[in-house]
Every structure is written in structure tokens, then in C-alpha cells.
A = this chain, B = another copy of it.
Amino acid sequence: MATLKDVARLAGVSVKTVSNVVNGYSFVKPDNRRRVEEALEATGYRPNLGARNLRRGRTGFIALVLPELSIPYFAELAGLVIAAAQDHEWNVLIEQTFGTLAGERSALASLGPHLVDAAILSPEALQVDDFQLPVPAVLLGEHAVDVPISRVGIDNVAAAQAAVRHLISLGHQRIAAIGAHPHRGTAALRLEGYRRALAEASLPFVDELVVPALNYHRADGAAAMRSLLDLRTPPDAVFCFNDLLAIGAMRAAGERLVRVPQDLAVVGFDNNEESAYSSPSLTSVAPDKAAIAQAAVDLLHRRVEAGDVLENVETPFSLQVRESTVAR
């Protein structure tokens, strides 16, 4: 592999001149430039990123810390983050935490300042004192813990409220919620949105209709739905805190021969691609994932380059109405 020195020797100039050409710097004598470019071409020179970054004190990487790639929301998001990072010549390193405190701690610990220039975090269990980060970071989604880190995400309370309002506008009166979680910030916010929508319609908040979920996988949604269907008076609608829970809930309903949406309306959250193709298709809160990815990366880039101050970005969302609430 050709190095700068090789190119310099071939072109009959100094390393500095080659470096100048490679980096598009300052003024290089046209004659030299031409010879350097020829030598570059002839040797097939490719800069050694490690060496460059060592010298520059940058790494060229950002970390994306998330629970699990097998969760569609995070997989879709990761794809968008990778695309957005390319614009700033960043490569993305993905760390999976599996939503555990230990996993999140170890992911953060591995984030040496030498490994990445910045980090995008989607924590679920972390506590305030865990956030001693060696690099600029941005938190995805809102979190109950109050840490001095930038955040990017939608207004979860408003989004949840919109989802439940939709159910209420359809005439549903006994609306359940699946996904309450004691330590998860976004869960608390979505629950608050649920509560507000009920309150503004003067509907009672019924404890037995709020089902916690320790994880947000399809199986958890199915289990929660079964417990709801076992109630003396089951709900006529359910708001799930993510699409996987909703898919699981619809599956459980189907197994009990409860028809969606006739007997039970279902709303999810995240708008996974799969939700447009389930049977019935799933009404879901749709955060603008591309906007989230773009904002997170841009914000970090500004911080790293210009040392910008802390800043939060609220991204838009919409409600995708589909067959799980309105029969076709």
C-alpha cells in the first residue's frame, strides 16, 4: 500500500506538497499539482485513516448505542443514522445493550475518547450518575432522568395524546394502555399523554386497564392483551406503547377470536414498516425517523466541530390511521 512518502518520491516533491494536494489545501504550483496527481493515480494512493486521525486527534467514528438491532424501530433508525453520518464522513459503530443496565454501562465504558468522536444513545435503564461521558453525546427520545445532554425526539406526551384522542373520536370509551414501565422515561410520558386524553374527554382513568410491560417485544404485547381479555369487562380499544406490543396484542386478540377493529381497536407507536402490512394493518404514531437521525448527527457534528452548546431538538410526528382502528 502506497504511503504519502512513496507518492512524494515518485512525484519528486516533498511529503508536505502531496499532503496539501490530498487535502485540497492552499496554493500548490500547477506544475507540482499535476505531477502529484499523476503520482497519486499511478500508486493508487489511499490515505491511512488511522494515522490521519491519530494526528488530528479525531477518530472518524460515532457510536450508536441502542437496545437491539432485531427491534425494527432501532434497525430502521440505525440505517438512517448511518446514512446521515456519511454526509460528515463519519462511520457508525453500533453497540447493543439489550436494554439492560449492565449492557448500557459496558457500552458507555467502551466509548473511550479514542474510539469515537461522539455518541448517540438510546438508553432504557441508565441512571443519572451513569452519564459521565468522555465524548459529546445526544440522547434519543426523552427520558425521565434529568441529565445535561442534548436530546432529540418527538413530544411523547403530545403523540400519545393524539393516539388516544383518535380512539376516543371513534367512540371508544374503555381504552386500555399496554407498556407502562417503572423506570422508562418514554413510558412515563406516553402514559401521561394517555391520561391527559382521557381526562379531556372526561373518561375515567381505570387502573386495571393500564398494563405494564417489562420488555417491548411482541410476546409481551400478547401476554398483556391476554390479561386484558381476561378482565370481567375487557377494553374496547387499546393503546400500545410501541408497534411490537401492538402486533402481539392483535395476535392474542385473534387467538381469542376477538375481531380487530370491530371488537377491539388497536393503536401502536413507532410506525414500523411491518405495521403497514399486518392483517389488519396497524394504526400507529409515526415519528419522523429520518428527521431524528439527521438532527442527532448534525447536532453532534456541530458540537464536535464548533463546540456548540447544549441543545435539544423536537422532531415532528404524525398519526398513520389504518385498519386496526378503522375497518376498510
Contacts and interface: CB of A to CB of B under 8 A. Distances in A.
A127 interface: no
Interface string A76-104: 10110011000000011111100000000
B69 A59 contact: no
Interface string A38-71: 0000000011111101100001000000001110
B114 A46 contact: yes
Interface range, A side: 35 or more
Interface stretch (A197-205, A233-241, A245-253, A298-306): A245-253
A53 B50 CA distance: 8
A75 interface: yes
Contacts of A92: 93-94
22 contacts: A1-B113, A46-B112, A47-B114, A50-B53, A51-B114, A68-B79, A69-B75, A69-B76, A69-B82, A70-B72, A70-B75, A70-B273, A72-B274, A75-B75, A78-B94, A82-B95, A83-B96, A91-B115, A218-B276, A247-B274, A251-B277, A279-B279
A102 to B, nearest CB: 14
Q: In the complex, which of the residues A49, A91, A96 has the most CB atoms of chain B within 10 Å of its own CB atom?
A: A91
A114 B250 CA distance: 49
Given A48-B112, A247-B274, 7 more contacts: A48-B54, A69-B75, A70-B76, A70-B79, A70-B273, A79-B96, A92-B94
How often does this chain occur in the complex, in copies?
A: 2
B96 A82 contact: yes
Contact of A69 (B79, B95, B278, B281): B79
A33 to B, nearest CB: 23
A46 B114 CA distance: 8
Contacts of A95: 82
A148 interface: no
